[in-house]
Amino acid sequence: MNRSSRQQPCPCCGRNANGNCRWSDDLILCFQGDRFAPPSDLEIGDTITIDGEPWALLRRDGGFSGMAAVFRPHKPRQPGEKDYSRRPRPNQKLLSLQAKRSQWADAIEQFHDAFQLAWNIPDFYSCTPDQLKAAEQVINDAQARGAALRPHLRQIWREHPGLDQLHRLRIDSQLKSLAYIAEHFRYFQINELVTSRPAAVDLAGDGDGGSCFTAMNKGDGFHQLSVLGEVGDPGAVSERHESGS
């Protein structure tokens, strides 16, 4: 059988990105994917013109994956010939599976988009405060979407092999990269907070009391400033000078 490719797209849906669609002279298995699929309004028994010839849709659960629309050449009935064909009932289980697949595919695409925004954030050290605030929101949004998707990934890959083939490796890589981006941003925030603080370093107590301590080598001796009192209360300030001799 022929397979869809760039050189020979699927005659039904035009798929040329991969070989998921197959066909011969009397059979077309058109894979129903996110980007390529036969017309969604076709019902079982309806016909579609392909290369100038009518083809009838027989089912939508064909192929190894159960996701292919099956077409056969349409043969019009002769005058007086009775139609003994029966219109099959919709496969509710398949319809439910297809609906879930569509929902998961949409969630995956949203995560891809959110990750790309996080990936495209400029260097933190060159950002303005407003840009840093926006970057934090972008990273948090991507992490939230990844966290919501992660618990369902095994089920998605198991129930939807097509999504597994298209997205699994990419999502695994994106989740790891996103964790690194978030960790790098947290490190940047901590580092900037430390380097942008005043020279004095506050040492808070355990709640019963506390003190602040700053020491500077003045050259002519050891100059020490002690601030005593409750945390948050300036308290009493005493200054003493000790000779270096």
Residue 204 confidence (pLDDT): 43
- What is the pTM assigned to this prediction? 0.45
What percent of the chain is modeled with pLDDT above 90?
A: 39
Residue 176 confidence (pLDDT): 95
What are the residues whose beta carbons fall under 8 Å from the beta carbon of 229, sequence distance 6 or more? 209, 210, 211, 235, 236
> Number of C-alpha atoms within 13 angstroms, CB side, residue 239?
2
Residue 125 confidence (pLDDT): 87
Pairing of strands 221-229, 210-217: antiparallel
Lowest-confidence range among 15-19, 132-136, 172-176? Answer: 15-19
Query: Taking 90 as the threshold, does the pLDDT of residue 181 lie above it?
Result: yes
Yes or no: say if 34 and 41 are a contact pair by the CB < 8 Å rule.
Answer: no
Query: Taking 70 as the threshold, does the pLDDT of residue 104 lie above it?
Result: yes
Residue 89 confidence (pLDDT): 59
Residue 211 confidence (pLDDT): 38
Residue-wise pLDDT for 213-231, tens only, equals 333 333 333 333 333 333 3
Residue-wise pLDDT for 115-161, tens only, equals 999 999 988 888 888 999 999 999 999 999 999 999 999 999 998 98
Residue 10 confidence (pLDDT): 93
Residue 34 confidence (pLDDT): 79
Lowest-confidence range among 3-12, 59-68, 232-241? Answer: 232-241
